[in-house]
Amino acid sequence: MKGLKNDEITIVIATNNRDKVTEIKPLLENIAPDISVHSLADLQVDIEIEETEETLEGNAKLKTDAVFNHLSDRFPCLITVADDTGLAVSGLNGAPGVYSARFAPMPEGKSPTYDDNVRHLLRTMENIADRKATFRTVIALKGRIPGDSSPYMFETTVEGFVEGEITREKTGNKGFGYDPVFWVNSAQATFAQMSTDEKNRLSHRSLAVKKAVEELRRLLILKP
Ligand code: ITT
Protein backbone atom coordinates (compact mmCIF):
# COMPACT_ATOMS: atom_id res chain seq x y z
CA MET A 1 0.00 0.00 0.00
CA LYS A 2 3.01 2.31 -0.01
CA GLY A 3 2.29 5.63 -1.66
CA LEU A 4 -1.31 4.71 -2.50
CA LYS A 5 -3.52 7.75 -2.92
CA ASN A 6 -7.27 7.59 -2.46
CA ASP A 7 -7.93 8.97 -5.92
CA GLU A 8 -6.23 5.89 -7.37
CA ILE A 9 -8.78 3.55 -5.79
CA THR A 10 -11.88 2.69 -7.83
CA ILE A 11 -14.85 1.14 -6.08
CA VAL A 12 -17.55 -0.36 -8.29
CA ILE A 13 -21.00 -1.27 -7.01
CA ALA A 14 -21.74 -4.54 -8.79
CA THR A 15 -25.49 -4.29 -9.26
CA ASN A 16 -27.95 -3.49 -12.03
CA ASN A 17 -30.49 -2.42 -9.44
CA ARG A 18 -30.61 1.41 -9.36
CA ASP A 19 -32.51 1.48 -6.09
CA LYS A 20 -29.67 -0.36 -4.36
CA VAL A 21 -27.15 2.08 -5.85
CA THR A 22 -29.15 5.01 -4.40
CA GLU A 23 -28.82 3.50 -0.93
CA ILE A 24 -25.27 2.11 -1.13
CA LYS A 25 -23.41 4.93 -2.88
CA PRO A 26 -23.65 7.62 -0.17
CA LEU A 27 -22.51 5.11 2.46
CA LEU A 28 -19.43 4.05 0.46
CA GLU A 29 -18.50 7.66 -0.27
CA ASN A 30 -17.91 7.91 3.50
CA ILE A 31 -14.86 5.66 3.42
CA ALA A 32 -12.39 8.44 2.71
CA PRO A 33 -12.24 11.59 0.62
CA ASP A 34 -11.22 11.23 -3.03
CA ILE A 35 -12.03 7.52 -3.40
CA SER A 36 -14.14 7.21 -6.52
CA VAL A 37 -17.32 5.17 -6.27
CA HIS A 38 -19.12 4.13 -9.46
CA SER A 39 -22.14 2.09 -10.41
CA LEU A 40 -22.11 -0.20 -13.44
CA ALA A 41 -24.33 2.36 -15.20
CA ASP A 42 -21.81 5.16 -14.48
CA LEU A 43 -19.13 3.09 -16.22
CA GLN A 44 -21.52 2.03 -19.00
CA VAL A 45 -20.92 -1.60 -18.14
CA ASP A 46 -23.68 -3.87 -19.40
CA ILE A 47 -23.31 -7.24 -17.71
CA GLU A 48 -26.05 -9.74 -16.84
CA ILE A 49 -25.15 -12.03 -13.97
CA GLU A 50 -27.33 -15.06 -13.43
CA GLU A 51 -27.89 -15.75 -9.73
CA THR A 52 -27.40 -19.51 -9.76
CA GLU A 53 -26.35 -20.07 -6.13
CA GLU A 54 -28.66 -21.12 -3.32
CA THR A 55 -27.37 -18.69 -0.72
CA LEU A 56 -27.14 -14.91 -0.49
CA GLU A 57 -23.37 -15.27 0.13
CA GLY A 58 -22.94 -17.40 -2.99
CA ASN A 59 -24.86 -14.99 -5.20
CA ALA A 60 -23.13 -11.90 -3.78
CA LYS A 61 -19.75 -13.52 -4.54
CA LEU A 62 -20.86 -14.42 -8.08
CA LYS A 63 -21.54 -10.72 -8.66
CA THR A 64 -18.22 -9.41 -7.24
CA ASP A 65 -16.29 -12.07 -9.20
CA ALA A 66 -18.00 -11.33 -12.51
CA VAL A 67 -17.61 -7.56 -12.27
CA PHE A 68 -14.04 -7.80 -10.94
CA ASN A 69 -13.03 -10.02 -13.89
CA HIS A 70 -14.81 -7.71 -16.32
CA LEU A 71 -13.06 -4.54 -15.09
CA SER A 72 -9.75 -5.91 -13.83
CA ASP A 73 -7.74 -4.71 -16.86
CA ARG A 74 -9.28 -1.26 -16.74
CA PHE A 75 -8.47 -0.31 -13.13
CA PRO A 76 -5.19 -1.22 -11.37
CA CYS A 77 -6.66 -0.55 -7.91
CA LEU A 78 -10.13 -2.03 -8.00
CA ILE A 79 -12.66 -2.98 -5.32
CA THR A 80 -15.99 -4.50 -6.31
CA VAL A 81 -18.91 -4.47 -3.89
CA ALA A 82 -22.02 -6.62 -4.43
CA ASP A 83 -25.26 -6.92 -2.48
CA ASP A 84 -27.56 -9.91 -2.34
CA THR A 85 -30.67 -9.47 -0.25
CA GLY A 86 -33.51 -11.75 0.80
CA LEU A 87 -36.74 -11.39 2.73
CA ALA A 88 -37.37 -14.38 5.01
CA VAL A 89 -40.96 -14.69 6.29
CA SER A 90 -41.49 -16.86 9.33
CA GLY A 91 -45.03 -17.99 8.38
CA LEU A 92 -43.69 -19.07 4.96
CA ASN A 93 -40.82 -21.11 6.43
CA GLY A 94 -38.25 -18.52 5.36
CA ALA A 95 -39.55 -17.93 1.82
CA PRO A 96 -39.03 -16.07 -0.44
CA GLY A 97 -35.43 -15.80 0.89
CA VAL A 98 -32.81 -16.09 -1.80
CA TYR A 99 -35.61 -16.11 -4.40
CA SER A 100 -37.05 -12.72 -3.35
CA ALA A 101 -36.54 -11.16 -6.80
CA ARG A 102 -38.35 -14.06 -8.50
CA PHE A 103 -41.17 -14.81 -6.04
CA ALA A 104 -44.31 -14.23 -8.16
CA PRO A 105 -44.86 -16.94 -10.77
CA MET A 106 -44.58 -15.47 -14.28
CA PRO A 107 -44.88 -16.72 -17.85
CA GLU A 108 -41.65 -18.17 -19.31
CA GLY A 109 -39.04 -15.48 -20.00
CA LYS A 110 -40.76 -12.70 -17.99
CA SER A 111 -39.42 -11.35 -14.72
CA PRO A 112 -41.80 -10.18 -12.01
CA THR A 113 -41.92 -6.47 -11.17
CA TYR A 114 -41.65 -5.28 -7.56
CA ASP A 115 -45.43 -4.93 -7.56
CA ASP A 116 -45.99 -8.49 -8.86
CA ASN A 117 -43.88 -9.81 -5.98
CA VAL A 118 -45.60 -7.67 -3.35
CA ARG A 119 -49.09 -8.66 -4.54
CA HIS A 120 -48.07 -12.32 -4.61
CA LEU A 121 -46.72 -12.05 -1.06
CA LEU A 122 -49.89 -10.42 0.29
CA ARG A 123 -52.08 -12.98 -1.49
CA THR A 124 -50.00 -15.93 -0.27
CA MET A 125 -50.19 -14.61 3.30
CA GLU A 126 -53.92 -13.81 3.36
CA ASN A 127 -54.62 -16.54 5.94
CA ILE A 128 -51.27 -16.56 7.68
CA ALA A 129 -51.14 -15.08 11.17
CA ASP A 130 -47.39 -15.40 11.77
CA ARG A 131 -46.15 -12.36 9.84
CA LYS A 132 -42.69 -12.02 11.41
CA ALA A 133 -40.05 -11.36 8.77
CA THR A 134 -36.35 -10.58 8.46
CA PHE A 135 -34.55 -8.69 5.72
CA ARG A 136 -30.98 -9.91 5.34
CA THR A 137 -28.28 -8.42 3.14
CA VAL A 138 -24.93 -9.99 2.38
CA ILE A 139 -22.30 -7.66 0.97
CA ALA A 140 -19.37 -9.28 -0.82
CA LEU A 141 -16.12 -7.38 -1.34
CA LYS A 142 -13.38 -8.31 -3.75
CA GLY A 143 -10.34 -6.11 -4.23
CA ARG A 144 -6.86 -5.61 -5.50
CA ILE A 145 -4.85 -2.90 -3.81
CA PRO A 146 -1.09 -2.41 -3.89
CA GLY A 147 0.72 -4.41 -1.17
CA ASP A 148 4.25 -3.92 0.16
CA SER A 149 5.92 -5.89 -2.60
CA SER A 150 3.09 -7.11 -4.81
CA PRO A 151 -0.62 -6.39 -5.28
CA TYR A 152 -2.72 -7.45 -2.31
CA MET A 153 -5.91 -9.34 -3.17
CA PHE A 154 -8.77 -9.71 -0.74
CA GLU A 155 -12.25 -11.20 -0.70
CA THR A 156 -14.72 -11.18 2.15
CA THR A 157 -18.42 -11.00 3.03
CA VAL A 158 -20.31 -9.14 5.75
CA GLU A 159 -24.02 -9.10 6.57
CA GLY A 160 -26.76 -7.05 8.11
CA PHE A 161 -30.33 -7.80 9.07
CA VAL A 162 -33.44 -6.12 10.40
CA GLU A 163 -36.54 -7.62 11.99
CA GLY A 164 -40.10 -6.68 11.10
CA GLU A 165 -43.56 -7.84 10.13
CA ILE A 166 -45.37 -8.17 6.82
CA THR A 167 -48.30 -5.73 6.82
CA ARG A 168 -51.78 -6.59 5.46
CA GLU A 169 -51.65 -3.80 2.87
CA LYS A 170 -49.15 -1.50 1.21
CA THR A 171 -48.23 1.58 3.25
CA GLY A 172 -46.00 4.41 2.00
CA ASN A 173 -44.66 5.23 -1.43
CA LYS A 174 -40.90 5.56 -0.96
CA GLY A 175 -38.19 2.90 -1.23
CA PHE A 176 -38.54 -0.12 -3.51
CA GLY A 177 -39.27 -3.84 -3.64
CA TYR A 178 -41.05 -5.13 -0.54
CA ASP A 179 -40.58 -1.82 1.35
CA PRO A 180 -44.34 -0.92 1.31
CA VAL A 181 -45.22 -4.14 3.18
CA PHE A 182 -42.22 -4.39 5.53
CA TRP A 183 -43.03 -2.93 8.95
CA VAL A 184 -39.82 -2.16 10.84
CA ASN A 185 -40.34 -2.96 14.50
CA SER A 186 -37.68 -0.55 15.78
CA ALA A 187 -39.10 2.38 13.77
CA GLN A 188 -42.84 1.60 13.93
CA ALA A 189 -43.14 2.41 10.20
CA THR A 190 -42.71 0.63 6.89
CA PHE A 191 -39.51 1.21 4.93
CA ALA A 192 -41.68 2.84 2.27
CA GLN A 193 -42.57 5.59 4.76
CA MET A 194 -38.90 6.51 5.16
CA SER A 195 -36.57 8.71 3.11
CA THR A 196 -33.34 7.12 1.86
CA ASP A 197 -31.47 8.75 4.77
CA GLU A 198 -33.96 7.40 7.30
CA LYS A 199 -33.84 3.91 5.80
CA ASN A 200 -30.04 4.10 5.76
CA ARG A 201 -30.02 4.71 9.52
CA LEU A 202 -31.37 1.27 10.31
CA SER A 203 -31.79 -1.00 7.29
CA HIS A 204 -30.34 -4.47 6.70
CA ARG A 205 -28.40 -3.04 3.72
CA SER A 206 -26.97 -0.04 5.57
CA LEU A 207 -25.84 -2.24 8.50
CA ALA A 208 -24.03 -4.55 6.06
CA VAL A 209 -22.51 -1.66 4.08
CA LYS A 210 -21.33 0.02 7.29
CA LYS A 211 -19.50 -3.20 8.22
CA ALA A 212 -18.02 -3.29 4.71
CA VAL A 213 -16.83 0.30 5.13
CA GLU A 214 -15.12 -0.61 8.43
CA GLU A 215 -13.44 -3.57 6.75
CA LEU A 216 -12.26 -1.46 3.81
CA ARG A 217 -10.94 1.29 6.11
CA ARG A 218 -9.03 -1.35 8.07
CA LEU A 219 -7.49 -2.78 4.90
CA LEU A 220 -6.62 0.64 3.49
CA ILE A 221 -5.11 1.91 6.75
CA LEU A 222 -3.29 -1.30 7.73
CA LYS A 223 -1.64 -1.42 4.32
CA PRO A 224 -1.13 -5.21 4.38
P1 ITT B 1 -28.82 -7.23 -8.32
O2 ITT B 1 -28.75 -8.72 -8.26
O3 ITT B 1 -28.48 -6.65 -9.67
O4 ITT B 1 -28.02 -6.57 -7.22
P5 ITT B 1 -31.65 -7.65 -7.65
O6 ITT B 1 -32.84 -6.73 -7.69
O7 ITT B 1 -31.73 -8.92 -8.44
O8 ITT B 1 -30.35 -6.78 -8.04
P9 ITT B 1 -31.49 -9.14 -5.12
O10 ITT B 1 -31.54 -10.45 -5.77
O11 ITT B 1 -30.48 -8.92 -4.04
O12 ITT B 1 -31.33 -7.94 -6.15
O13 ITT B 1 -32.86 -8.71 -4.41
C14 ITT B 1 -33.94 -9.49 -4.34
C15 ITT B 1 -35.20 -8.68 -4.31
O16 ITT B 1 -35.49 -8.36 -2.95
C17 ITT B 1 -35.21 -7.34 -5.06
O18 ITT B 1 -35.52 -7.48 -6.40
C19 ITT B 1 -36.28 -6.58 -4.30
O20 ITT B 1 -37.56 -6.95 -4.77
C21 ITT B 1 -36.12 -7.11 -2.90
N22 ITT B 1 -35.30 -6.21 -2.08
C23 ITT B 1 -33.95 -6.18 -1.97
N24 ITT B 1 -33.58 -5.21 -1.11
C25 ITT B 1 -34.71 -4.62 -0.68
C26 ITT B 1 -35.00 -3.57 0.19
O27 ITT B 1 -34.04 -2.89 0.81
N28 ITT B 1 -36.27 -3.24 0.40
C29 ITT B 1 -37.26 -3.90 -0.21
N30 ITT B 1 -37.10 -4.90 -1.07
C31 ITT B 1 -35.82 -5.27 -1.30
Rounded to whole angstroms, the Cα distance separating 98 from 85 reads: 7
Q: Which residues contact 22 (CB under 8 A, 6 or more apart)?
A: 196
Atom of ligand 1 nearest to the CA of 51: 2
pLDDT tens readout for residues 29-66: 978 877 899 999 999 999 999 999 999 999 999 999 99
Write down the domain spans for the chain: 9-222
Q: Yes or no: say if 193 and 172 are a contact pair by the CB < 8 Å rule.
A: yes
Whether residue 36 has its Cβ less than 6 Å from ligand 1:
no
Rounded to whole angstroms, the Cα distance separating 191 from 181 reads: 8
Burial (CB count within 10 angstroms: exposed 0-12, middle 13-18, buried 19+), residue 172: middle
Q: Is 84 a catalytic residue?
A: yes
pLDDT tens readout for residues 139-185: 999 999 877 778 889 999 999 999 999 999 999 999 999 999 999 99
Residue from 114, 136, 141, 144 nearest 14 by CA:
141
**pLDDT bracket for residue 1 (50, 70, 90):** very low
Percent of residues, the chain, with pLDDT higher than 70: 96
* Gap from CA of 174 to ligand 1 centroid (Å): 15
Residue from 132, 25, 15 nearest 84 by CA:
15
Whether residue 171 has its Cβ less than 6 Å from ligand 1:
no
Fold category of 9-222 in CATH: Maf protein (3.90.950)
- pTM here is 0.95
pLDDT tens readout for residues 79-103: 999 999 999 999 999 999 999 999 9
Rounded to whole angstroms, the Cα distance separating 38 from 17 reads: 13
